[in-house]
Amino acid sequence: MNKPAEPNSFRIGPDDEGMYGIFGGRFVAETLMPLILDLEKHWNEAKDDPAFRAELEHLGRHYTGRPSPLYFAERLTEHLGGAKIYFKREDLNHTGSHKINNCLGQILLAKRMG
């Protein structure tokens, strides 16, 4: 019998099978599963390694400009007349934040794996 699905929420994170409620999981060709599992094993080791985290933070700070500074949106704050509004402009990082952040993590993990 199937277990009842948990509510669909990103806040609780995935379960042991990678599911977010009724969504999620792995949809990978079976021939790739040994490689995916090896990658997962190495990631689980790396993410808790202080040296790995330090190198990733170093590259973020000295290569991509992280943490990106907050910008006080003075005119928008005045226009709306309420709380002070700040922007975190990660889009100004080289190539945008999502690309470089993803690449640096993947490169460091690949380097670590040999």
Q: Which residue has the higher pLDDT, 96 or 84?
A: 84
The answer to whether residue 31 scores a pLDDT higher than 90 is: yes
* Helices 33-46 + 97-113 axis angle, to 10: 100
pLDDT tens track for 45-88? 999 999 999 999 999 888 888 888 899 999 999 999 989 999 98
* pTM of full prediction above 0.75: no
pLDDT band with cut points at 50, 70 and 90 for residue 13 = confident
Task: Map out the domains of the chain as residue ranges.
Answer: 1-48, 50-113
Residues pairing with 14 in the sheet: none
